[in-house]
Structure 1
Amino acid sequence: MEYCHLCDGEAPLVTVPRTFEASGGPSVTINDTAYQCARCGEVFYGGGMMDESLRRVAAAVRVRDGLLGSEELVAVRESLRHTPARMSEILGVAEDLISKWEQGLFPQPAKVDRAYRRLRGEPDRLPKGVPRSREAA
Structure 2
Amino acid sequence: MSALNCPVCNSAEVEISRVERDNGLGLESIRLVNVPFLECRRCGEGFEEFPAYRRLIRQAVELLCQLDARLNGQEIAFVRHALNRSQQELAGLLGVHTVTLSRWEIGHSEVPAPADRLLRALAFEHFGRKRPAELSTAPQHRRRQRPITLDVEQLHGETYTYETPHTFGGTNHAWVMSNDG
TM-score range, shorter chain: 0.3 to 0.5
Q: What's the TM-score once normalised by structure 2's chain length? A: 0.32
User: Comparing both chains, which one has the higher relative contact order based on Cα–Cα distances under 8 Å and sequence gaps of 6 or more?
Assistant: 2
Q: Which has the higher helix share?
A: 1
